[in-house]
Amino acid sequence: MTYQYKNLLVEISDKIATVTFNRPDALNALNTEVFAEVTDMMDKFETDESVGGIIFTGGESKAFIAGADIKELAEKNAVEAAIWSRNMMKVFNRIDKFPKPVIAAINGFCLGGGNEYAMACHIRVASEKARFGQPEVHLGLTPGFMGTVRLPRIVGKAKALELLMTGRMIKADEALSIGLVNHVVPHGEVMNKAVEIMKEILVQGPIAVRFIIDSVNTGLNSTLDEGGNFEAEVFGLCFSTEDGKEGLNAFIEKRDPQFKGR
């Protein structure tokens, strides 16, 4: 399957789909066109067997994503802005719940909608030059892509409120210290680290990986008992899969498992 988009560059190698945002003149700012392309791409990736996982990156741009396209936003009234926000949230939730691993390789500015995009990804790897923040308050606005929802879940209520209400931009080392990113690496190594993590995931059982994503998301949005019940269900389902049987037998036979995603 080929992937040709105006604002996204897609390369697939060793089951890793590298998606580079391609609006360098706008610092990869998000607009309706970008969201439409991401939606189409994710629909295709889900059933494309050549894709085991996705890495999003800003490439050689100074930004991963510098935020939403302010010129497009400025044209909206209150009703249009709320509708647009809800529609764009669907894209972010699609990433968050995607059944294959999604990593953000953050090379530079990761602000506003860009930070919200990165938070929707399962894992975040940052360059030491990366900068993070939710600066919407400087414009007299609130975040519109679940920044007030995901940020407290990741860094805690107090730190999230501080960042949201001040709009302060933070460096990569602080982002690491508060748990906003998983790793900080030298600037030229961010993609190498993201690929390293992805390869480590892709040798595992793909059904188990999908169930883990489902179980974590369910647990975060339910009570402890509800989350535990869901975990027990998917744990049991693993025993009905060929991969589950292969993994157990490989352990007993002291060999590496050969998972087939069945």
Q: Is residue 1's pLDDT more than 80?
A: no
Query: Looking at domain 8-202, which CATH architecture does it have?
Result: Alpha-Beta Complex (3.90)
Identify the pLDDT of residue 68.
87
Q: What rounded mean pLDDT belongs to the chain?
A: 94
Instruction: Give the active site residue among 11, 116, 189, 196.
Output: 116
Q: Using 50, 70 and 90 to split pLDDT, how confident is the model at 255?
A: confident
Encode the chain in three state secondary structure.
CCCCCCCEEEEEECCEEEEEECCHHHCCCECHHHHHHHHHHHHHHHHCCCCCEEEEECCCCCEEECCECHHHHCCCCHHHHHHHHHHHHHHHHHHHCCCCCEEEEECCEEECHHHHHHHHCCEEEEECCCEEECHHHHHCCCCCCCHHHHHHHHHCHHHHHHHHHHCCCEEHHHHHHCCCCCEEECHHHHHHHHHHHHHHHHCCCHHHHHHHHHHHHHHHCCCHHHHHHHHHHHHHHHCCCHHHHHHHHHHHCCCCCCCCCC
Total count of residues recorded for the chain: 262
Residue 116: active-site member: yes
Task: Determine the Cα angle at 151 with ends 153 and 225, to 5°.
Answer: 15
CATH 1.10.12 boundaries in the chain: 206-252
Average pLDDT over residues 171-185: 98
Rounded to two decimals, the pTM is: 0.93
206-252, what's its fold?
Lyase 2-enoyl-coa Hydratase; Chain  A, domain 2 (1.10.12)
How close are the terminal C-alpha atoms of the chain, in Å? 22
Tell me the CB-side half-sphere exposure of residue 49, using CA atoms within 13 A: 3
Confidence of residue 228 (pLDDT cuts 50, 70, 90): very high
What pLDDT is recorded for position 256?
Answer: 87
Place 2 in a pLDDT band, splitting at 50, 70 and 90.
confident
- Give ranges for CATH 3.90.226.10 in the chain: 8-202
Residues forming a β-bridge with 10: 19
Closest CA to 167 of 85, 112, 113: 112
* CA distance linking residue 205 with residue 213, whole number of Å: 13
Task: Tell me the average pLDDT across 86-92.
Answer: 93
Q: Which of 11, 46, 128, 136 is catalytic?
A: 136
| Predicted local distance difference test score (pLDDT) of residue 154 | 97
